[in-house]
């Protein structure tokens, strides 16, 4: 987990692996729950070549905000995040915009610059008083940090070593070289 952007109204966390969110884990770890088969199927068939992201308003519950206020704040954060992705040339799933027009709906082709992994946006109570333009600028900076982080981890990843051909030592019993 890497905290990409921390602002007074939200925290953006990035996870490079595709593991279920804390909400889904609650249902997946339950012995008997009616939603368990559905969520198991959803995560088993979910596309792992896209960006998984979610807005988490649980910190808003601690300050006793009503449900309608929490959903309004979550909707503002989702809208700002989608607009920030769009400003950087991505769709809502983190694919480069226009790939579906090129016939590449799975996101595996092209230049390979799709966003992958999982992003959690943890909302704080200050998002309620934050003007939307400021929130949008902060989300834009968060998406920039995400893109830069993915570029640096991609560049810093060790490249696989080239396989060298082993020299075949063909010798007979007396130690003389033989031809193959």
CA atoms lying within 13 Å on the CB side of residue 152: 7
pTM of the predicted model as reported, rounded to 2 decimal places: 0.76
* Residue 133 placed within a domain: yes
* Residue 165 placed within a domain: no
Tens of pLDDT, residue by residue, the chain (180 residues):
888 888 899 999 999 988 888 888 999 998 889 999 999 999 899 998 999 999 999 888 888 889 999 999 999 999 999 999 999 999 999 999 775 544 444 444 334 578 999 999 999 999 999 999 999 999 999 999 999 999 888 777 666 655 555 555 566 666 676 665
* Residue 97 placed within a domain: yes
Domain count, the chain: 1
Classify 85 in phi/psi space as left (phi over 0), alpha (psi -120 to 50) or beta.
alpha
* Residue 84 placed within a domain: yes
Range of the domain at 84: 2-156
């Amino acid at each position: 987990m890497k905290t990409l952007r921390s602002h007074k109204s939200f925290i953006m966390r990035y996870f490079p692996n595709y593991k279920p969110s804390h909400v889904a884990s609650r249902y997946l770890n339950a012995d008997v729950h009616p939603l368990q088969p559905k969520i198991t199927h959803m995560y088993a068939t979910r596309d792992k070549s896209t960006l998984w992201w979610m807005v988490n308003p649980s910190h808003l519950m601690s300050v006793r905000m009503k449900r309608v206020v929490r959903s309004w704040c979550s909707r503002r954060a989702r809208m700002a995040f989608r607009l920030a992705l769009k400003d950087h040339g991505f769709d809502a799933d983190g694919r480069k915009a226009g790939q579906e027009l090129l016939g590449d709906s799975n996101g595996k082709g092209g230049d390979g610059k799709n966003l992958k992994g999982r992003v959690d946006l943890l909302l704080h109570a200050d998002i309620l008083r934050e003007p939307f333009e400021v929130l949008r600028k902060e989300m834009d900076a968060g998406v920039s940090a995400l893109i830069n982080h993915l570029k640096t981890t991609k560049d810093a990843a060790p490249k696989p070593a080239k396989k060298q051909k082993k020299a075949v030592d063909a010798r007979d019993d007396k130690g003389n070289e033989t031809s193959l």
